[in-house]
Structure formats: C-alpha cells, structure tokens
Structure 1
Amino acid sequence: MSFVTILLCALFLDAALGEPKWLWSRVTHPAIVMGHTIAWMDKRFNRGATRRLKGVASVFALGVSAVLIGAFFAQFGALVQIIIAAMLLAQKSLTQHVAKVATALRQSTEQGRSEVAMIVGRDTAEMDDPAIARSAIESAAENLSDGVIAPAFWFLIGGLPALLLYKVTNTADSMIGYRTPRYEAFGWAAARFDDLLNLIPARLTALIIMLAYAQAPKWRSIVSEARMHRSPNAGWPEAAMARALGVALSGPRSYDGVMRDFPFVNETGRKSLSATDIDAAVRALWVTWGIFTSLVFALALFGF
C-alpha cells in the first residue's frame, strides 16, 4: 500500500475517532512521550555554557531517534502505519477544542477565557469576547497547518520516519522554541528547524483556504500580510483565514503581563468577533480538510 493510500485512510480514521478518551486514559499518547523526552533534555542540558550547541545536539538526537523509530514501525505493515499516522493527525481534536471555546463563550466571558486558555499561550485574564473569539480563530488557523496539513505533507514525502521527525520537531518548538532568556539559545535549533519544516505546509494551507473561499483575487494582500507576521509561517494560514471569514486577526495582545502591539491581519475586517465567528472557523477547518483529503484521494486514484 502506498504512502498516499495509507495517509488517506489515516485522515478518515482521525476525522472519525479523533483522540478517544477510553484509549488515551489507558495508553500514553506518542506526543506525551515526545514531550516528556524534550522536558528531560531541557532539564538535563539547558544550563551552563554552550547552550545553543547543546540545543542543536538535542534536536539532532531527537530527529535521528524519530526517524529510526518511524522506520522500525513501518516494517509492521500498512495497518500499523495507518493507526500511528492517525494518532499524529489532529483534525477532529482541533475542531473539538476550538468549538468548545464557542460553547463556553456563549455561556459567559469568564468561561470563554478559561476555555481559550487551553489552546493559546497568551494572557487571557483580561480578554473581552472579541479577543477570545479572535484568539480561538488564530489558533484554529495555525494549528490547521501545524497539526493536520504539515504532518500529512511530510508523511507523503517520507512515510512514518518523516512524519515522526516533523512531530518531534514541532513538539520541541512548542516547548522550548521561545525567545526568552531561558530558551533563546537552547531552543534556537528547534525553532529554526520547525520553521524550515513548516515552510511549504503553511503556504499550502493558505492556498487551500484561499481556493475554498474564492480568495484567490486577494492573494497579493494575503502574501503581504503573511510576510509582515511575527512568525515566518503562522501568518500564511492566519492571513488566509482572516480573509475567508472577513475578520481582522492578530493585533495587540499580552504575554506574561506585557502588552505587545502586533499589527492586525486583514485590518479592515470585522473586529467585533463572537462565538458565531468561531463556528465559522470550525466550518472552515472542515472545508479545508475536505479539499486536502480530496487532493490526497485524487493522488491515490491516479496511482501516485
């Protein structure tokens, strides 16, 4: 069975089951194992001199281990590969997490803050309703690329070894890839390698959203705004999502008690966002997933 057919099955399996509690309450999720390993490396090596070199060595060791483990499990056949790939895709869990913010926001601002804090890293204590909705939509756009399109893309390129390499790098970036005094040196390699691995998937995600919502005539504006974003990759799906929904995203927000004056993406879009806009973003996630899955099906149909 080809990588394309295996991926197609994994996409449908993930969309159908997501992350069932009955399974992950009994078995440790691979992402948790990756997280524990990275946390151990952080504690063990992120100290003393030559932190950047230690960070490079840590990312190299993680990557080699991921490739070898992926190659090992690939020997057990298509079914095992389908199951592992489905575990490392996040379409259904992403839509569920984002939809929970809309449900909570309809109940109260406080509950909306509590729920959105589960999926974003910025300060949420002072957020009003539009800021909560905007944060949820931004997270939806960014994680559509990081959690669905990118891992699927790398599986198509190199099967389980490439998928595990991407996931462990992305997990490392989410844990240590920050420009803070603690991580600026040690997390440098994780952040830069993650940027590289997401270079094509982020732009592919934006392209699919643009096609899904007939935003191709606005591609120049999307490209321009994506390039101005603080992230070299996250701005692409975010800019495309903002245009697709007709809303303004990004903008000022607080991290660790410090307000950052980031520019808006699609500044002329609506800024009075609500739970209804989060619902629209969830629909956009499924529409984009549907188009991407159709493309994978076409590749399978024509024998790629």
Structure 2
Amino acid sequence: MITALPLLIALILDALLGEPRVLWDRVPHPAILMGRAVAWCDRRLNFGSTRRIKGVIALLILTLSALLIGLVLMALPGQIIDVVILTILLAQKSLAQHVTAVASALRLSLGDGRKSVAMIVGRDTADMLPDAVARSAIESAAENLSDGVIAPAFWFLIGGLPGLMVYKITNTADSMIGYKTEKYRDFGWAAARFDDLLNLAPARLAALMIAPFNWQSIAKDAKLHRSPNAGWPEAAMAQTLDIALSGPRSYDGEMRNFPFVNPRGRRMLAPNDIDDATHILWRTWAIALAATAILALL
C-alpha cells in the first residue's frame, strides 16, 4: 500500500541532510548509476540507421529495468527503504545550495558567477552579463524545483517506488540524450517525449504551488516557453518576482532568440533576485510538506 508518510519523512530528511559528501565521495550516487546506464545505451545503440527505433528500445530497456528495481524494493518489508530512496532522490536542499552558490559567486565577481552558474545550466556562460547569470540561476531553480522535488514526490504518491524509479531514469535520459542535435535528434526522441508526458502534471502542480493566485496569466506566459512543461514553473517564478525569464541565450556558440516569459517583468537582475528565488523554493517546499502531512493523516 502506498502512503504519504515515507514522503513526509523524506522531505524533512532531505531538507536537513541534502547530499552528504562524506557518503557520496565513497559510493556512487544512484543518479550517477542511472547516468551510466543511459550512457551504456547511448554507446551500444546510437549509431547507424533507424536511430529513433533504437532510442525507443533504449528507453524500454531503461524504464523496464527501473520498474523492476522499484518492484523489488517495494516488496521489501517495512517503509524504511521508501524513506531512504526518497531522501536520496529528492533534491530540495542541494538545489537551494547550488542556486545560492551562484548568488554568492556573482557578488564576488562576474567571472565567479559565470563559473558557478555553468555548473547548473547547459547554455554558454563565457560571455554572460550579470543579469544573464542571475536569470539562468533563477530559471534553473524553477525548472529543477519541478523536476527534482515536485515530480519525484508526485510519482511516488501515484506509483510508489516503481513510479519514482521510472520517472528518475526517464528524466536522467532526457537530460543526457533528449537534445535536438544531429547526434540525439532521433535517438533521444522517445526519452524527451516520455519525459514531457511524465512532467505534464507535476510542472503545472509546481506552478500552482509557487503562485496559486495567478493561474490564468501563468498559463498564458507558459506558452511563450520553448518547453511544454518548464514554462509553467518559470512563468510562476517570473510573475512572483515580477521579472522576465527565458529570452535570448547561446548554445554551442549559436545565439537562440527565444521569447521572454513574463516579458513585462524587470530584466536587469542581480544576486538579490536569486536570493528571492531561493526563498520561493523553500516556501514551495513548505507547501509541499504541509500537503503531504495532510495526505499522511488522511
């Protein structure tokens, strides 16, 4: 039987402990192991013709393996294993720490800010101006709040450990091969589309938790984003802070003229705006915690 109690405990433990380096310096984090599995499929299957079909096969291998592992773990007696796996795979404290580190680095110098934000975003950072560094950190905060906290919690409540494991391997695959490049356009298609499907509800739930009273305007602004899901938490974050997010940026030396989300918002951003975004992360976590406590009591 799936209950909310393990999730409630795990949300608290993750907020307190984060990702202790003393442990993960000695053993590989499950996310690292998932990444190795995706990389293995990439090496073994991503070549020649029929890459889209091979990408579907890769996704089936990954998700069915994750499902099987989740079923085995769920069959173990007690709920301790649920708490442990959830605590490891939730990312609230580590997300807040990474985002806060960008603000601290940007206060030191622009170069430090660029180096720090390069650790959490995939776009080109070498020529970023201070406002672009701050904007990138805030966008990462919003998107990863959905991907790293709300979505794992949602899929655990829906499908227990099997649901959680399938979501995490899919999200990992999307982050590694779900790109519209020549190498991954076909091979990563299945992973990207399935990740879009799995994040459909959690992204909108995250937006609702960030800004519960601006639904109509958030829905309008979310359509401006290139992603069918990331635009929702980003639009909610942008409207809450009254800033513009997304917009033009460079990938692999090529400038992409993406539209701004909440284009009416302020565009000159600073480290204080990153701090405000971090506060919203913790406020949303508190809402998630309260909702989970209610579910646990019910």
Normalised to the residue count of structure 2, the TM-score between the two structures is 0.98
8 Å Cα contact 1:81-1:160 kept in structure 2: yes
Cα distance in 2, alignment partners of residues 83 and 139 from structure 1: 26
**Corresponding residue SS for 2:255:** strand
8 Å Cα contact 1:3-1:155 kept in structure 2: no
Residue type of the alignment partner of 1:9: I
Cα distance in 1, alignment partners of residues 73 and 15 from structure 2: 22
* Residue among 267, 271, 286 paired with 1:290: 286
- 2:11 aligns with 11
- Deviation track 1:21-69 (CA, whole Å, cap 9, x = no partner) reads 0010111111000001111110110001111001001101111110110
8 Å Cα contact 2:2-2:160 kept in structure 1: no
- 1:134 aligns with 135
8 Å Cα contact 1:103-1:275 kept in structure 2: yes
- Deviation track 1:178-217 (CA, whole Å, cap 9, x = no partner) reads 0010000000000000000000000000001112xxxx1x
- 1:148 aligns with 149
Cα distance in 1, alignment partners of residues 215 and 291 from structure 2: 21
Gaps of at least 5 residues in structure 2 are: none
- Deviation track 1:280-299 (CA, whole Å, cap 9, x = no partner) reads 00000000010011001011
8 Å Cα contact 1:145-1:201 kept in structure 2: yes
8 Å Cα contact 1:210-1:240 kept in structure 2: yes
Shifted more, 71-80 versus 199-208: the winner is: 71-80
1:42 aligns with 2:42: yes
**Corresponding residue SS for 1:228:** coil
1:223 aligns with 2:219: yes
**Corresponding residue SS for 1:3:** coil
Determine what percentage of the aligned residue pairs are the same residue: 63
Gaps of at least 5 residues in structure 1 are: none
- 1:109 aligns with 110
1:28 aligns with 2:24: no
**Corresponding residue SS for 2:250:** strand
**Corresponding residue SS for 2:4:** helix
Cα distance in 1, alignment partners of residues 79 and 85 from structure 2: 10
Cα distance in 2, alignment partners of residues 229 and 272 from structure 1: 19
RMSD: 0.9
8 Å Cα contact 2:224-2:260 kept in structure 1: no
Cα distance in 2, alignment partners of residues 163 and 275 from structure 1: 34
- 1:51 aligns with 51
* Residue among 253, 266, 273 paired with 1:270: 266
- 1:239 aligns with 235
**1:156-235 pair list within 5 angstroms:** 156-211=157-212, 216=213, 218-235=214-231
8 Å Cα contact 2:2-2:159 kept in structure 1: no
Cα distance in 2, alignment partners of residues 208 and 138 from structure 1: 16
Offset at residue 2 of structure 1 (A): 4.5
Offset at residue 274 of structure 1 (A): 0.4
Cα distance in 1, alignment partners of residues 238 and 118 from structure 2: 21
8 Å Cα contact 1:209-1:241 kept in structure 2: yes
8 Å Cα contact 1:140-1:285 kept in structure 2: yes
8 Å Cα contact 2:2-2:157 kept in structure 1: no
Cα distance in 2, alignment partners of residues 162 and 219 from structure 1: 28
- 1:248 aligns with 244
Cα distance in 2, alignment partners of residues 149 and 224 from structure 1: 22
Between Structure 1 and Structure 2, how many residues are aligned?
297
**Corresponding residue SS for 2:127:** coil
**1:89-100 pair list within 5 angstroms:** 89-100=90-101
Offset at residue 219 of structure 1 (A): 2.4
Offset at residue 220 of structure 1 (A): 2.0
**Corresponding residue SS for 2:93:** helix
Cα distance in 2, alignment partners of residues 146 and 219 from structure 1: 20
